[in-house]
């Protein structure tokens, strides 16, 4: 018969109540891994949404997401002519902020060439961009609806939402929006009217505006991607990254800081959980001193006593872990960020919980082993 | 005398026990000699502080004596030092202990409080529960076998505790004031029960008591004073038919 289980069942309500706090803590730990997973996932998805085989960016940079990258606007023609490249498209990236009904609205704006790589795919509603100007496709997470009109840029051009995507956000949670490359250029380089007049007076034009951030290339299915990459590397002002390299960059470098912050919070939470588990186990054992003395008196070996304490510690951890997990799963949709719980990380948190429980039960074990069987004889029962 | 024909189950020779050192030393037991035969129920009496509990604990291998020799069921277990390293196993196999308070495990029901001892001794779950149920039947508490200790009356709990003490068929049953929390009627019932067990299981029963009302239930009474065995009364007489089952 399992004494640990019997004792828990006998005091079930107390067990559940004392462990609710632990559940919340472990739930937060799981949630943080989910936030981190979401971060990685969003970043990688953002790159994946481009369906690129190769990314051509400014030489020596980890562009265009991990680092800024500027290349001449004609790079796309250059890339398209390389043997093996089936299609190429120029893209620009910029963060824009505007106001809608008095509320700030942030986007990560992608400028693309319609019909070429880099165009938005898998729309969940609406249609592709058909006109050269002032149409926009945006991620559903922005809260915008089809047909809605939003002002962008210093001249507050009105962009109409014609299509919606799903699940396309940056690692900082901003919705991704698509406009034509021309619109994007205009938004990027347009100046406020006074600055524009000054620029014209100096004799400058919109000369610098023919710059893009990257070229996305699709490789013909009959040619090996690395061969094409090698061919592209002959231009010294460009760097070529494969899709896999791009994803690695995104998941490693872009969110490194976020990762170390979260790691620190997790370590602190795990320490707090350990202290809480240790205290609960200690008090649970204290409450059972007489039972433990009786068990020893009637001949129970130490292994039975240690088993009782350790199994209760483990039950606590497992109960807390799964309650926490359920809480996270239940409240996930209401969380302001997307949580991605990948099974491996969730498994690691479980393993950590088990280890922490074992470590935290040592205090209780020491107490239990020190109990003198003669205490079973003491005074009242 | 019939019992003397048998080997003693408990034999204590020159047993001493002191607590503390130097001027603070308390001689709880001094040069105790005592022998108990199978089937005998003996009483251990004496004023408070005379060493009754200490003596019982030495026999139960809970307290280490300071000197002397203890022989239990033919084996010398203590001779100036413990001769066995696994005292818990020894207790489990040879000794049944009845506490003043039932000391049942609060999280196990009546049956399991008895079955746990059998589990510890290596009996499997259902065999242990079956024997536990039989014992509760024997002690007339079968109807309470699924009750938790908190729901039992004092007398019922004490009978479950006695069933637990009997579970491993120990040759030695020790009881420290088992009747103290019971009224005199219940006390007599418990004592008769112990007598019956002693005879049926050929066990030695040693009972510490203050209760002069139950003296007639003992075959033999040892009186302690200041750690010394002061008086030994042999009350052996023909078994009364009323105590037979
Ligand atoms: N663990 C201990 N440490 C020090 N002294 C002790 C200890 N246990 C018992 N003693 C002392 O030994 C003596 C005998 O105690 P014991 O408990 O055996 O008496 P008792 O006859 O059972 O008394 P009571 O009838 O009150 O239960 C007492 O003087 C007691 O103070
Ligand atoms: Mg006593």
The minimum-distance atom of ligand 1 relative to the CA of B63 is 1
With an 8 Å Cβ cutoff, are B107 and A9 in contact?
Answer: yes
Full residue range of the structural domain in which residue A133 is found: 60-236
B103: nearest CB among A294, A299, A304: A294
A244 within domain boundaries: no
Report the residue among B50, B209, B227 best suited for mutation to probe ligand 1: largest number of ligand atoms under 8 A from its CB.
B50
Instruction: Supply the residue whose CA is at minimum distance from atom 29 of ligand 1.
Output: B49
Taking the C-alpha atoms of residue A83 and residue A73, their distance in angstroms, rounded to an integer, is 20
Taking the C-alpha atoms of residue B92 and residue A41, their distance in angstroms, rounded to an integer, is 60
Helix (H) or strand (E) holding B29: strand B26-36
Query: Are A122 and A27 contained in the same domain?
Result: no
Q: What residues have CB less than 8 Å from A316, skipping those under 6 apart?
A: A15, A19, A22, A277, A280, A281, A357
Query: Are A151 and A178 contained in the same domain?
Result: yes
A48 within domain boundaries: no
Query: Are A66 and A209 contained in the same domain?
Result: yes
The minimum-distance atom of ligand 1 relative to the CA of B54 is 18
Who wins on pLDDT, B54 or A380?
Answer: B54
pLDDT of residue A381: 43
Report the residue among B21, B23, B26, B56 best suited for mutation to probe ligand 1: largest number of ligand atoms under 8 A from its CB.
B26
Q: Is A224 on the interface with B (CB under 8 A)?
A: no
Q: Is A255 on the interface with B (CB under 8 A)?
A: no
With an 8 Å Cβ cutoff, are A301 and B107 in contact?
Answer: no
Query: Are A107 and A164 contained in the same domain?
Result: yes
Ligand 1 centroid from CA B26, angstroms: 9
pLDDT of residue A65: 83
Q: Provide mean pLDDT across the span B48-77.
A: 91
ipTM reported for the complex, 2 dp? 0.86
Helix (H) or strand (E) holding B42: strand B41-45
Among the listed residues B109, B98, B97, B27, the one whose alpha carbon sits nearest the alpha carbon of residue B61:
B97
A287 within domain boundaries: yes
Closest chain B CA to residue A372 = B62
Q: Are B225 and B50 contacting, i.e. CB atoms less than 8 angstroms apart?
A: yes
Q: Are B201 and B169 contacting, i.e. CB atoms less than 8 angstroms apart?
A: yes
Taking the C-alpha atoms of residue A165 and residue A143, their distance in angstroms, rounded to an integer, is 11
Task: Name the 3-class secondary structure at A359.
Answer: helix
Ligand 1 centroid from CA B50, angstroms: 7
The minimum-distance atom of ligand 1 relative to the CA of B46 is 21
pLDDT of residue A234: 86
What is the band of B244 on the pLDDT scale with cuts at 50, 70, 90? very low
Using an 8 Å CB-CB cutoff, list chain B residues near A377: 53, 57, 62, 99-100, 176
Report the residue among B24, B46, B54 best suited for mutation to probe ligand 1: largest number of ligand atoms under 8 A from its CB.
B54
Using an 8 Å CB-CB cutoff, list chain B residues near A4: none
B120: nearest CB among A9, A300, A381: A300
Which residues have any ligand 1 atom within 6 Å of their CB?
B 19-20, 26, 28, 46, 48-54
A92 within domain boundaries: yes
Who wins on pLDDT, A27 or B217?
Answer: A27
Taking the C-alpha atoms of residue A253 and residue A61, their distance in angstroms, rounded to an integer, is 13
Q: Write down the domain spans for chain B.
A: 3-234
Q: Is A164 on the interface with B (CB under 8 A)?
A: no
A184 within domain boundaries: yes
B88: nearest CB among A294, A299, A381: A299
Residue with tokens 């962008």: A152
With an 8 Å Cβ cutoff, are B105 and A298 in contact?
Answer: no
Ligand 2 centroid from CA B53, angstroms: 4
User: How far is the alpha carbon of B125 from chain A, nearest alpha carbon, in Å?
Assistant: 7
Rg (alpha carbons) of chain A, rounded to whole number: 30
Using an 8 Å CB-CB cutoff, list chain A residues near B106: 10, 291
Closest chain A CA to residue B168 = A298
With an 8 Å Cβ cutoff, are A297 and B102 in contact?
Answer: no
pLDDT of residue A37: 84
Query: Are A353 and A289 contained in the same domain?
Result: yes
Closest chain A CA to residue B123 = A1
With an 8 Å Cβ cutoff, are B105 and A291 in contact?
Answer: yes
User: How far is the alpha carbon of B220 from chain A, nearest alpha carbon, in Å?
Assistant: 24
With an 8 Å Cβ cutoff, are A297 and B91 in contact?
Answer: yes
Closest chain A CA to residue B87 = A299
Taking the C-alpha atoms of residue A209 and residue A204, their distance in angstroms, rounded to an integer, is 11
pLDDT of residue A192: 64
User: How far is the alpha carbon of B160 from chain A, nearest alpha carbon, in Å?
Assistant: 14
With an 8 Å Cβ cutoff, are B91 and A295 in contact?
Answer: no
Q: What are phi and psi of A117, to 5 degrees?
A: -55, 145
Is residue B114 pLDDT above 90, yes or no? Answer: yes
Number of domains in chain A: 2
Query: Are A208 and A268 contained in the same domain?
Result: no
Using an 8 Å CB-CB cutoff, list chain B residues near A301: 88-89, 120
HSE at residue B159, side-chain half, CA atoms within 13 A, is 24
Q: What residues have CB less than 8 Å from A258, skipping those under 6 apart?
A: A36, A39, A171
Ligand nearest to the CA of residue B57, numbered in listed order: 1
pLDDT of residue B239: 46
Taking the C-alpha atoms of residue B59 and residue B174, their distance in angstroms, rounded to an integer, is 8
Q: What are phi and psi of A14, to 5 degrees?
A: -65, -40
Top-tier CATH class for B3-234: alpha beta
| B100's tokens | 């003043």
Can you say whether residue B70 is alpha, beta or left, with left for phi > 0 and alpha for psi between -120 and 50 degrees?
Answer: beta
Question: pTM of whole model > 0.90?
Answer: no
Closest chain B CA to residue A300 = B120
Among the listed residues A235, A231, A239, A316, the one whose alpha carbon sits nearest the alpha carbon of residue A273:
A316
Q: What residues have CB less than 8 Å from A4, skipping those under 6 apart?
A: A307, A308, A309, A310, A311, A312, A315
Q: Which of A180, A207, A236 is the last residue of a domain?
A: A236
A155 within domain boundaries: yes
User: How far is the alpha carbon of A365 from chain B, nearest alpha carbon, in Å?
Assistant: 18
Query: With a cut of 50, which residues of chain A have pLDDT below it?
Result: 206-207, 381
Query: Are A333 and A201 contained in the same domain?
Result: no
Using an 8 Å CB-CB cutoff, list chain A residues near B88: 296, 299-301
């Amino acid at each position: 018969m399992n004494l640990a289980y019997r004792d828990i069942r006998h005091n079930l309500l107390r067990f559940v109540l004392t462990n609710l706090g632990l559940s919340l803590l472990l739930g937060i730990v799981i949630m943080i891994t989910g936030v981190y997973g979401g971060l990685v996932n969003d970043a990688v998805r953002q790159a994946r949404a481009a369906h690129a085989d190769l990314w051509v960016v400014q030489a020596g940079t980890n562009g265009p997401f991990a680092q800024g990258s500027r290349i001449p606007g004609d790079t796309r023609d250059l890339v398209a002519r390389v043997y093996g490249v089936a299609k190429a498209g120029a893209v620009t990236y910029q963060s824009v902020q505007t106001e809608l009904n008095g509320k700030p609205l942030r986007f990560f704006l992608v400028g693309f060439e319609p019909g070429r790589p880099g165009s938005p795919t898998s729309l969940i509603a609406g249609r592709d961009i058909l006109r050269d100007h002032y149409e926009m496709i945006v991620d559903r997470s922005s809260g915008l609806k089809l047909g809605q009109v939003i002002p962008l840029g210093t001249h507050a051009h009105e962009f109409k939402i014609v299509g919606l995507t799903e699940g396309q956000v940056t690692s900082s949670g901003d919705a991704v929006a698509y406009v034509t490359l021309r619109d994007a250029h205009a938004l990027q380089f347009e100046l406020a009217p006074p600055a524009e007049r000054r620029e014209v007076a100096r004799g400058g034009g919109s000369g610098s505006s023919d710059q893009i951030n990257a070229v996305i290339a699709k490789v013909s299915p009959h040619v090996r991607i690395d061969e094409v990459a090698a061919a592209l590397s002959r231009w010294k002002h460009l760097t070529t990254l494969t899709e896999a390299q791009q994803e690695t960059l995104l998941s490693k470098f872009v969110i490194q800081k976020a990762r170390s912050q979260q790691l620190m919070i997790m370590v602190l939470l795990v320490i707090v959980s350990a202290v809480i588990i240790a205290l609960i186990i200690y008090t649970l054992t204290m409450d059972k001193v007489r039972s433990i003395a009786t068990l020893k008196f009637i001949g129970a070996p130490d292994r039975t006593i240690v088993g009782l304490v350790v199994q209760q510690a483990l039950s606590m951890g497992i109960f807390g872990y799964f309650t926490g997990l359920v809480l996270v799963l239940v409240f996930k949709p209401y969380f302001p960020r997307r949580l991605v719980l990948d099974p491996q990380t969730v498994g690691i948190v479980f393993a950590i919980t088990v280890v922490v429980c074992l470590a935290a039960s040592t205090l209780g074990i020491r107490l239990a082993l020190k109990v003198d069987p003669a205490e079973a004889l003491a005074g009242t029962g | 005398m019939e019992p003397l024909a048998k080997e003693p189950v408990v034999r204590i020779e020159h047993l001493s026990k002191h607590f503390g050192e130097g001027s603070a030393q308390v001689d709880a037991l001094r040069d105790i000699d005592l022998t108990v035969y199978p089937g005998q129920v003996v009483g251990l009496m004496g004023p408070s502080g005379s060493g009754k509990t200490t003596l019982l604990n030495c026999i139960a291998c809970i307290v280490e004596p300071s000197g002397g020799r203890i022989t239990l069921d033919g084996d010398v277990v203590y001779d100036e030092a413990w001769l066995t390293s696994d005292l818990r196993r020894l207790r489990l196999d040879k000794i049944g202990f009845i506490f003043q308070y039932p000391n049942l495990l609060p999280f196990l029901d009546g049956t399991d409080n008895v079955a746990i001892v059998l589990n510890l001794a290596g009996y499997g779950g259902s065999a242990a529960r079956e024997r536990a149920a039989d014992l509760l039947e024997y002690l007339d508490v079968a109807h309470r076998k699924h009750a938790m200790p908190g729901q039992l009356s004092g007398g019922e709990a004490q009978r479950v505790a006695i069933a637990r003490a009997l579970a491993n068929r120990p040759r030695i049953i020790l009881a420290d004031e088992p009747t103290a929390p019971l009224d005199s009627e219940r006390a007599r019932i418990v004592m008769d029960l112990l007598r019956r067990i002693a005879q049926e299981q050929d066990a030695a029963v040693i009972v510490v008591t203050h209760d002069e009302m139950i003296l007639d239930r003992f075959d033999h009474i040892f009186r302690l004073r200041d750690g010394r065995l002061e008086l030994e009364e042999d009350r052996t007489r023909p078994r009364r038919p009323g105590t037979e089952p």
